[in-house]
Each structure stands twice: as structure tokens, then as C-alpha cells.
Amino acid sequence: MIKLNKKSLIRWKVYIDRARMYVGYIQFMMIGFMFLDNYKETSWGTLIFDHLIYSLPVLFILFILLHLILGRIDTLLGFREEEMRNASSSNPVMRELLSNIKELQQEVRDLNKQLNDKNK
């Protein structure tokens, strides 16, 4: 029998979120194939589909390279980091952790100051 408790539901949600990421990759590639299929009757489409054994690996490599370039640009511009920062600032658990860290840092500063005052 399957136990329905909070931990199980959270674990299932994590599994679904992970699967959704991979499904997103597949959907994105399917959009690319649909895009190519729309241009099947053009000169570029004819060239691609007549030589599918060569064009498919080339298109796949171009697909990967384009995504690597886009990912690098995103990393340089810092969009993902800012998105994660915003998401974590709205998360109550993360806010509490950050608050605790700030309190600990202040306590360490105070202790260091007391030690320096005693050593003088």
C-alpha cells in the first residue's frame, strides 16, 4: 500500500519536476523538427530532407552548439543567478536560513571584537 504523507508527496513532486525538464528538451527538439517540416518544400528543406543521413547529425550538432552558446551568454549576463536569487528570497525557508546566517556572522564579529579588545 502507498503511504500518502507529506514526504512522499514532496518526493513525487520532485520526480515530476525532473521529468518535466527532460520532456521540455524533447518538446524543444520536436519544435525544431516541426519547423524544418514546414520548410520541406523550400530549396533548403529539399536539400536537408534529400540528404537526411548527413543533414540530421549536422543539424543535431548545430542544435547543441547553439544551445551551448545561448547558455554561455545567459551565464555571462547572469539571468539564471538573478532568477534563483529572486526565487530564494521569496522562499520562507531560505529567508530564515539567510537571517540565521546574518545573526551568526554578527555574533562572530562581536566575539572577534571582544577578543581583540582583551588582547590589547
Amino acid 110: pLDDT? 92
Q: Rounded CA gap, 67 and 35, in Å?
A: 17
pLDDT of residue 2: 64
Q: What is the pLDDT of residue 108?
A: 93
- Indicate the pTM of the whole model: 0.52
Q: Which ranges of the chain have pLDDT less than 50? A: none
Long-range pairs for 16-22: beta carbons < 8 A, 24 or more residues apart: none
**In this predicted structure, what is the pLDDT of residue 42?**
87
How crowded is residue 105: how many other Cβ atoms within 10 Å of its Cβ?
Answer: 10
Residue type, 55: S
Asked if 48 and 36 count as a contact pair (C-beta separation under 8 A), the reply is yes
Note the pLDDT tens digit of each residue in 64-81: 898 899 889 988 888 888
Q: Over the stretch 81-93, which tens digit does the pLDDT of each residue have?
A: 888 888 777 778 8
